[in-house]
Amino acid sequence: MPGQSIPDHLKISPFLVLYMIMSMQIGIGVLGYQRLIVLTAGNDAWISVLIAGGCIHIIIWMIYKIAETVNGDLVSAHVYIAGNFVGKLLSSFFIIYYFIYSLTVQRSYLEVIQVWMFPTMNIFWFTLAYMLLCIYIIYGGVRTVIGIAFFGIVLPAYLFPVFGFSLQLAEFNHLLPIWNNSLKDILIGSYKMSLTFIGFEVVLFFYPFIKEPQKSKKWAHLAILLTTFLYTSIMIITITYFSRDLLSRSVWATLTMWKIVNFPFVERFEYIGIATWSLVILPNVCMSIWISSRLLKRIFNLQQKKGVIIMAAATLIAINFLPTRAEVSLLNDITGQIGFVFNFIYIPLLLVVVMIVKKVKKR
């Protein structure tokens, strides 16, 4: 099957795959993933994070194997194994998935703003402003979208050394004894962590836009290595800072740790952290909408700029139907579970089918 013809001037350098993956993995989950895993895996939660990160390296290898075999993206893979009509029908599901993913990230971030800063804030007007910014970025093309991913990692990087304030109050005996919990509990913790890790699969959609994609493999694995290190480090700091009971009640443990940060020129550092996080989630939203609009173009021949407008308008409407914590929590659970099935069940199955079809076609 011939690959998609993408002009060189529209393609991105292989090293930018590092920022593409990291910016999708580091999102709203960083602010409060610790509680969910500690409730299951206890003081061994950091081991759950490492196991989840290790599994993702295998999935990344599978993603590249699929993309190389069909010489294209996920739509190309579906068409390769199931023909044009059925292949595009299968791919259309992912338009909805990435729309929901974008909606989940935005609404979860708005919830943090409402709880910590502005309880009476109107979510419609904030979303409208954010959507206009996203449309402007996506209209700049794929290179602009990945450029925002670069800045979404580099500019907020100053936030992570701030965790050093929590280390001053750390009780490292909270980590002992290691392997205090059963293997089953640790693996369930890894499952819950994988819901936070999702986002790396965007490689399967951006693959045709990568210059010399073979060279980008090492950057993809380095991205997974760095995010795994980051999440593990924050988890260890969190376990040593909180008591088990307090952590089980802390919905946003990261923000709670930021509350103790004290500079002469700023009293409430968590406000700065929350404001900066709008830049962290920007690549999440932009890439999700870009993928949805790209799929609309590939499947229905709809101009991508029109697809972007449709997705932004749908987000603006849908976000008003999620007014309370209960709906936001349910949306997070649904998105996480669908993402888990896609990454850890569907992609391995897709690889097996692609390799079988390749052998059949050779014969």
- Domain residue extents for the chain: 14-349
Crossing angle of helices 325-341 and 183-197, in 10° steps, is 100
- On the question of pLDDT at 264 being above 90, the answer is no
- On the question of pLDDT at 182 being above 90, the answer is yes
Which CATH number is 14-349's, of 1.10.1200.10, 2.40.37.10, 3.30.420.40, 1.20.1740.10? 1.20.1740.10
Local structure of 303: helix, strand or coil: coil
The model's pLDDT over 13-59, given as tens digits with 9 standing for 90+, comes to 999 999 999 999 998 889 999 999 999 999 999 999 999 999 999 99
Instruction: Please report, for residues 23, 32, 133, 286, the alpha-carbon distance to residue 283 in angstroms, rounded to integers and kept in the order given.
Output: 6, 19, 11, 5
**Which band of pLDDT confidence, cut at 50, 70 and 90, is reported for residue 4?**
low
Higher local confidence (pLDDT), 169 or 132: 132
Q: Which amino acid is at 273?
A: G
Burial tier of 84 (Cβ tally within 10 Å: 0-12, 13-18, 19+): exposed
Distance CA 254, CA 237 (A): 10
Mean pLDDT of 159-179: 90
- On the question of pLDDT at 67 being above 70, the answer is yes
The model's pLDDT over 197-248, given as tens digits with 9 standing for 90+, comes to 999 999 999 999 999 999 999 999 999 999 999 999 999 999 999 988 899 8
Residue 182 phi, psi dihedral angles, 5° rounding: -70, 155
Judge whether 88 and 361 are in contact, CB under 8 Å. Answer: no
Q: For 301, which DSSP code?
A: -
Residue 304 phi, psi dihedral angles, 5° rounding: -60, -35
The model's pLDDT over 148-160, given as tens digits with 9 standing for 90+, comes to 999 999 999 999 8
Crossing angle of helices 45-70 and 33-41, in 10° steps, is 110
Judge whether 351 and 67 are in contact, CB under 8 Å. Answer: no
Contacts of 167 (CB under 8 A, 6+ apart): 237, 240, 241
The model's pLDDT over 127-146, given as tens digits with 9 standing for 90+, comes to 999 999 999 999 999 999 99
**Which band of pLDDT confidence, cut at 50, 70 and 90, is reported for residue 3?**
very low
Look at residue 263 in the predicted model and tell me its pLDDT: 83
Judge whether 223 and 26 are in contact, CB under 8 Å. Answer: no
Q: What is the mean pLDDT of the chain?
A: 93
- pTM here is 0.94
Look at residue 241 in the predicted model and tell me its pLDDT: 95
**Which band of pLDDT confidence, cut at 50, 70 and 90, is reported for residue 192?**
very high
Distance CA 263, CA 334 (A): 39
Helix (H) or strand (E) holding 199: none
